[in-house]
Homo-oligomer: A and B are copies of this chain.
Amino acid sequence: MSEKVVLAYSGGLDTSVTIKWFIDKGFEVVALCLDVGEGKDLDHIKQKAFDMGASECYVLDTKEEFANEYVSYAIYGNSMYEGKYPLVSALSRPLISKKLVEVAHDANADYVAHGCTGKGNDQVRFEVAIKSLDPTIKVLAPVREWTWSREEEIEYAKEHNVPIPVDLDSPYSIDQNLWGRSNECGVLENPWNQPPEDAYDLTVHPTAAKDEAEELLLTFEAGLPTKINGVSYQLDDLILKLNDIAGAHGIGRIDHVENRLVGIKSREIYETPGAAVILTAKHDLETITLTKDIAHFRPIIEQKYTEQIYNGLWFSPLSDSLRKTLKDMAQDVNGDVRLELYKGNVIVTGRQSENSLYNEKLATYTSEDAFDQGASVGFIEIFGLPTKVKAMLDNGVKIND
């Protein structure tokens, strides 16, 4: 009787070869393919899994769950790894892991498998997440194990009737979901090289973008975007729509040399047009809706949470706690942000909120001024006292001198 393995299956060359390879090794293969908004042809992929010999192929549309349960916390948390990368792939890995474990339990499989190599972050994210959900399940990583060169893999594919993709000579390694698209490898491996235009798919270069600026009104409720120009969308649809709108304006390109969890620096090209608009607008709306003490302290929580997720620790007590904290801190982020999109720029031109802590009567220099300027004298006296005492010591001045 054969062992059963549930494989995270994308329909690409690696995971197609993996099905064959598992069958060669005597496994029964259950393929699992999730739609997280990358826009692929699910029927085609399903058929291909069966063609490869999978005994079963689960195809799940998880766009809504992905947006609501995973991407939402990246919005609450303004998640930007190293200030640059909005956690695109790092967000889908825990969801895929969760589904792998659920299907394995359903299908009575002792094994799950992923198609990651041994030098990326994703292998860690999958394996740590899976063990967090079921510490007894066995995880296989055939691509890491077989250590074939590209040529050897293709040879194996040809011998086993695995269809070779037409873009086989593409040098890039790509991952995509509704929150964005990542690209690495090939000419990008030299960080002095300018990324060629064919490295991008969701965005145009700012010089090739529309000539007309576009005004956009984005509405937030409790920290999440809910409306574009007054029209409500559910979160996954809203993000996909913004990807279209902002991509055409050349917005959301990121070129970043990042520090991977596995100890190396890696040059990555990301496209996150919708995320760029949302996070810019949210950050701005927070300037009027958050108190200063939250605005100044939260970044340290944001950074820790982002690193946890980047490092594959989605399912962990610390990540759980920080998620609740970040969501809680976002509850007052309500209101509208007016934006201008133009050739790579997301320009905030106004922000308003019923929760606004901005008080024009306190801020104004007109005769409406309600601020008690006399209070500043006492404030400065006490605020500056420690510095003054230090200076007195350093200058040999005694108090009451």
- Cβ contacts A354-368/B at 8 Å (1 or 0 each): 011111111111110
Please give the distance in Å from A374's CB to the nearest CB on chain B: 7
Chain B residues positioned under 8 Å from A193 (CB to CB): 350
Do B375 and A192 have beta carbons less than 8 Å apart? no
* Measured CA separation A206–B315 after assembly (Å): 44
* Measured CA separation A301–B328 after assembly (Å): 15
Please give the distance in Å from A343's CB to the nearest CB on chain B: 5
Listed stretches A32-40, A51-59, A162-170, A287-295; interface member: A287-295
Chain B residues positioned under 8 Å from A360 (CB to CB): 189-190
Q: Does A194 sit within 8 A of B, measured CB to CB?
A: yes
* Measured CA separation A373–B149 after assembly (Å): 13
Q: Which residue of B lies closest to A304 (CB)?
A: B297
Interface residues of A in 375-392 (CB under 8 A from B): 375-392
Interface of chain A: mostly helix, strand, loop or mixed: mixed
Residues A373 and B296 in contact in the complex (CB < 8 Å), given A192-B352, A395-B134: no
Chain B residues positioned under 8 Å from A321 (CB to CB): 294, 325, 328-329
Residues A391 and B265 in contact in the complex (CB < 8 Å), given A206-B345, A342-B343: no
Q: Does A258 sit within 8 A of B, measured CB to CB?
A: yes
Listed stretches A123-131, A218-226, A228-236; interface member: A123-131
Q: Which of B291, B295, B370, B382 contacts A82 (CB 8 A)?
A: B295
Do B371 and A119 have beta carbons less than 8 Å apart? yes
* Measured CA separation A322–B361 after assembly (Å): 30
Do B132 and A362 have beta carbons less than 8 Å apart? no
* Measured CA separation A397–B328 after assembly (Å): 24
Do A361 and B288 have beta carbons less than 8 Å apart? no
Do B390 and A381 have beta carbons less than 8 Å apart? no
Q: Which residue of B lies closest to A129 (CB)?
A: B387
Q: Does A62 sit within 8 A of B, measured CB to CB?
A: no
Do A363 and B206 have beta carbons less than 8 Å apart? no
* Measured CA separation A308–B292 after assembly (Å): 13
Interface residues of A in 179-205 (CB under 8 A from B): 184-185, 189-195
Q: Does A43 sit within 8 A of B, measured CB to CB?
A: no
Please give the distance in Å from A360's CB to the nearest CB on chain B: 6
Interface residues of A in 90-122 (CB under 8 A from B): 117-119
Residues A288 and B257 in contact in the complex (CB < 8 Å), given A374-B118, A382-B379, A391-B135: yes
Q: Which residue of B lies closest to A361 (CB)?
A: B399
Q: Does A256 sit within 8 A of B, measured CB to CB?
A: yes
Q: Does A255 sit within 8 A of B, measured CB to CB?
A: yes
Do B173 and A365 have beta carbons less than 8 Å apart? yes
Q: Does A176 sit within 8 A of B, measured CB to CB?
A: no
Do B382 and A370 have beta carbons less than 8 Å apart? no
* Measured CA separation A387–B175 after assembly (Å): 26
Please give the distance in Å from A37's CB to the nearest CB on chain B: 25
* Measured CA separation A213–B263 after assembly (Å): 36
Do A118 and B257 have beta carbons less than 8 Å apart? no
Interface of A toward B, CB cutoff 8 Å: 82-83, 117-119, 123-124, 127-128, 131-136, 144, 147, 149, 173, 184-185, 189-195, 206-207, 213, 253, 255-259, 261-267, 283-284, 287-288, 290-297, 299-301, 303-304, 307-308, 312-313, 315-318, 321-322, 324-325, 328-329, 332, 338, 342-345, 347-352, 355-367, 369-393, 395, 397, 399-401
Q: Can you list 12 A-B pairs with a CB-CB distance of less than 8 A?
A: A119-B376, A128-B383, A149-B367, A191-B356, A195-B349, A206-B345, A255-B348, A262-B379, A265-B358, A313-B387, A375-B381, A376-B378
A sample of 9 more A-B contacts (CB under 8 A), given A206-B345, A257-B288, A317-B390, is A128-B388, A132-B384, A263-B383, A265-B359, A291-B390, A299-B299, A299-B303, A324-B328, A356-B393
